Amino acid sequence: MDLLLVRHGESAGNLEGRLQGTVDSPLTPLGRAQAARLGAWLKARGLRWNAAYASPLARARDTAQILAEKTGYPAPLLDEDLREIGAGGLEGLTREEIFRKHPRFIERGITDLGDFEEFGGESNAAVQLRVARVLARMQERHRVPADLVLLVAHGGIHFQIAKAAICVPVPRVCILHFGNCSATLLRFRDRRGTYMAEVSFHVPIELMGGEPSDGGSSGAFR
């Protein structure tokens, strides 16, 4: 099985520099153009998926629908476990607002990022359980090596999926930037008795001929 991880196109929240989390935010005109450009790029390279899944949040769901329309490939099924990581009281805030209201978050070290339990959001452990469910379902449904499965979701959850897929044990920190409409191929195979992946490619939208976002990836303000 190969997993094709696609982050949604630019959203209104991205454009405003907000930490979105589970807050719903529509695609901007640029975000829709990015999704169309990505769809054309994938089709031109013959990257046809057997199945597609998307986060139910509008920015990911609409990106996935545009990809299906542009390619003619299978439309996405919605998967609740692909929602972005819940950031609790930080959701919807800009970096400057977080500085004022929650300075402890900004002062955190790199190894403490990605865990929002202190602010009423999801813990790192809870997110990893969610990721484990996603990967288990994908492996059960799409074990055939030739299967290509599209997952359209968010930078935070894709970061956690990639870590869990390519690292044993799963680290707290791994630097991998998911820009708007980036495409990342994880190739799963049995490796000495362990079913895990390697990153086959990781391509940003600008290398596909699309326009990148100015503020499109907060990376939870990494």
CATH number for the segment(s) 2-82+130-208: 3.40.50.1240
Which ranges in the chain belong to alpha helices (H)?
12-15, 29-44, 58-71, 95-101, 103-106, 124-141, 155-166
**pLDDT tens digit sequence for 11-52:** 999 999 999 999 999 999 999 999 999 999 999 999 999 999
Greatest alpha-carbon pair distance for the chain in Å reads: 50
Residue position matching structure tokens 């086959």: 200
- Taking the model in full, what pTM does it have? 0.95
Query: Phi and psi (nearest 5°) for 83?
Result: -60, 155
**pLDDT tens digit sequence for 153-177:** 999 999 999 999 999 999 988 889 9
The ranges assigned to domains in the chain are 2-82+130-208
Residue position matching structure tokens 């090596």: 145
DSSP summary character for residue 174? -
